[in-house]
Structure 1
Amino acid sequence: MGSKRRLLPWIHGVLRTLPFETAADPFVGSGCVAFLLKAMGKRVIASDFLNFPTVL
């Protein structure tokens, strides 16, 4: 739980080794992982049960 912002360099290092075009982020929260995926040129499907991500 919580923001994954501090983990983004590690997440990027792992994701760049995997062959994929589309990613699902079902617990998007602040959106930092989804934003990273878009910056990597991936198609992102994002959702969240909570209300606050829709405001962001």
Structure 2
Amino acid sequence: MTRRGANGPREVGLTDIELVEVIAHVARNIFINYVNEALDVTVERPIVRPLDRQTAQQ
């Protein structure tokens, strides 16, 4: 990562604490996804399917 890339979030106003929180959430989600895949856990939320153009225009 370049120096500019590392400072990008700070340039838009994120603090170090907020950056750590974002990284922690991403790491948690990746970990949970790995566990769910390894244990073949059924996802309990409904699958969202994209609408076709005709349905979306109605």
**TM-score under structure 2 length normalisation:** 0.25
Structure with the greater relative contact order (CA < 8 A, sep ≥ 6): 1 or 2? 1
When you count helix as a share of all residues, which structure comes out higher?
Answer: 2
Give 1 or 2 for the bigger CA radius of gyration.
2
